[in-house]
């Protein structure tokens, strides 16, 4: 079985949470900056009709 990247795992975990709370996951990134690792999750808020608002 292939290992999944942390960004893929977070995307799988966050997608249902975002959908249930009116957000759509845009992207995730796990980057090292100045010696520190950062996990960033970007999401777009959906409007009442399901479009971006």
Per-residue pLDDT, 42: 92
Is 50 within the bounds of a domain? no
The torsion angle over the Cα atoms of residues 32, 39, 28 and 48, rounded to 10 degrees, is -150
Print pLDDT tens along the chain (53 aa).
467 888 899 889 988 998 899 999 888 888 999 999 999 999 999 876 666 55
Q: How many domains does the chain divide into?
A: 1
Taking the whole predicted model, whether its pTM rises above 0.95 is answered as: no
Angle at alpha carbon of residue 1, lines to 4 and 31, rounded to 5° = 15
Q: Which domain holds residue 35?
A: 6-45
Which DSSP category does 51 fall into? S
Size of the chain, expressed as the number of residues it contains: 53
Is 53 within the bounds of a domain? no
Helix (H, G, I), strand (E, B) or coil at 11: helix
């Amino acid at each position: 079985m292939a290992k999944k990247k942390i960004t893929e795992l977070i995307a799988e975990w966050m997608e249902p949470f975002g959908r249930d709370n009116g957000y759509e996951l845009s992207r995730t990134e796990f980057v090292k900056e100045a010696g520190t690792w950062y996990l960033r999750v970007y999401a777009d808020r959906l409007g009442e009709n399901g479009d971006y608002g």
